[in-house]
Structure 1
């Protein structure tokens, strides 16, 4: 077994703290990774606080991890010791169901679905049984070591700084995948609802695709941020501006991470076009079906992205020289960072420097 240090929590009502735990040694098809950086996703907060009512404790968050390969199994062929690699939202799937057969592991229909990088499987194993990772839970990238099957490990392009690449593993693919699926192309008019970590990445990707991008946000400050990256900004509360945009958009992506009303934005779609929600998993405000039916519009959802999509978006960002705006923090500031994410006081993505784990001298055990 490998002795691992990280940050996690045992309860929904406590903050994260330094913990020591173990991972199994890399198997024949697995790689061992020394984690260098890990992004802070709003999903980490939802899970740590059990806001989706499915958290398995102890919980060690983190699914935007970038590190260096330190060991490979005997049959590993995709990665070598010394490679800079990434681990995103999933680390395994059944590999036998129809979605897995089509390279869409994120929609795995196996007994437990896709195995999440942390808090997996989403449906805990029966009492007394373990999953292939040696326990009834998985621990994520807020740690100094990960061990993952080579198929679920991504190659980080040399032109992407590892700390910049980290949020692309979730924020990047979560926004890229639906734009790819719904065929966003050069010249399309694309709306991005919300301008936090996902919205910032979505706007940059859509712009790089050649789309005309409009960001809908609640604050004047973020309008200025939108202008800074070369896209249009509109206040969500500006009813006159929204009225002028009615029926003009080819695609709208909602990145808002909580329950919200999409109806004002459904009205902005052209006939036969789609608004996709990626930021919120809970129920939304009811959709006005008159607006949908009279113009054959769609409101849809999308869940992260496949392993292939994740590699594609990493390569896309490298090719177009784009990446998220990040703030690097020591892991000791993680609880304060969570508060700032909730308050919207981050521009735009926190990334943890995992080397700061060495500053902790006392680690509790799970």
Structure 2
């Protein structure tokens, strides 16, 4: 679980050399998003969490995010139009990509690591105005995995999990469907 959470966010941030001087938005503060915040901050980027859930602001700040934008608040969202160099999109629910592309500056890159169940509907002008890029990332190879593990060990970066007994798996599923997880459930194998 740690490898999945970490690698899906570490690999694209390293590939695009996100670091000092960059403005990174992390779209979605869940299992992937919380690791993206940790890596982005550790790499020296200014990190902003974009979320539909205002109640996640305290968590975002605790994880190290410099800013928090509630995406349902149009005025708040307008304040970051054209602001970001990178958006790391961890959302697996359907969402309007065009809205988020408007938050990128010139040469900005929107990196998809979440996997919504429906295809994106992207307008050409969302990309060509500002020479923006839309990209995706999954995983790298063994050398990069080892690099990430070494980096995490050196910088004390771990994923935040809730350990559960196998008997509570249905309750955990219900909580997951409500978005009430900080940030992944892990089954205690001793409870089998």
- Alignment TM class, shorter chain as reference: over 0.9
Tell whether the 8 Å contact from 1:186 to 1:209 is kept in structure 2 after alignment: yes
Alignment of 1:61-80 (within 5 A): 64=1
Mapped to 2, the partners of 1:299 and 1:230 lie a distance apart of 26
Tell whether the 8 Å contact from 2:27 to 2:49 is kept in structure 1 after alignment: yes
Tell whether the 8 Å contact from 2:83 to 2:103 is kept in structure 1 after alignment: yes
- Tell me the secondary structure at the aligned position of residue 272 of structure 1: strand
Mapped to 1, the partners of 2:142 and 2:71 lie a distance apart of 34
- Say if 2:25 is the partner of 1:197: no
Q: 2:7 aligns with which of 137, 159, 173?
A: 173
Alignment of 1:45-56 (within 5 A): none
Partner of 1:333: 168
- Say if 2:46 is the partner of 1:212: yes
What is the TM-score normalised by the length of structure 1? Answer: 0.50
Mapped to 2, the partners of 1:336 and 1:293 lie a distance apart of 46
Partner of 1:324: 159
- Tell me the secondary structure at the aligned position of residue 94 of structure 2: coil
Which structure has the bigger radius of gyration?
Answer: 1
Mapped to 2, the partners of 1:233 and 1:239 lie a distance apart of 14
Larger helix percent: 2
What is the TM-score normalised by the length of structure 2? Answer: 0.93
Deviations 1:137-165 (A, max 9, x none): xxxxxxxxxxxxxxxxxxxxxxxxxxxxx
Tell whether the 8 Å contact from 2:85 to 2:105 is kept in structure 1 after alignment: yes
Tell whether the 8 Å contact from 1:261 to 1:284 is kept in structure 2 after alignment: no
- 5+ long unaligned stretches in structure 2: none
- Say if 2:192 is the partner of 1:351: no
Task: Tell me the matched-pair count.
Answer: 191
Tell whether the 8 Å contact from 1:276 to 1:300 is kept in structure 2 after alignment: yes
Partner of 1:273: 108
Mapped to 1, the partners of 2:170 and 2:138 lie a distance apart of 26
Mapped to 2, the partners of 1:221 and 1:356 lie a distance apart of 32
State the 1:224 CA deviation. Answer: 1.3
State the 1:339 CA deviation. Answer: 2.4
Tell whether the 8 Å contact from 2:91 to 2:116 is kept in structure 1 after alignment: no
- Say if 2:21 is the partner of 1:187: yes
- Tell me the secondary structure at the aligned position of residue 77 of structure 2: helix
State the 1:334 CA deviation. Answer: 2.2
Q: 1:308 aligns with which of 134, 137, 143?
A: 143
Larger strand percent: 1
Mapped to 1, the partners of 2:159 and 2:112 lie a distance apart of 20
Partner of 1:56: none
Mapped to 2, the partners of 1:206 and 1:284 lie a distance apart of 27
State the 1:281 CA deviation. Answer: 5.0
Tell whether the 8 Å contact from 1:260 to 1:284 is kept in structure 2 after alignment: no
State the 1:288 CA deviation. Answer: 2.0
Mapped to 2, the partners of 1:236 and 1:284 lie a distance apart of 21
Partner of 1:153: none
Mapped to 1, the partners of 2:151 and 2:168 lie a distance apart of 31
Mapped to 1, the partners of 2:94 and 2:152 lie a distance apart of 30
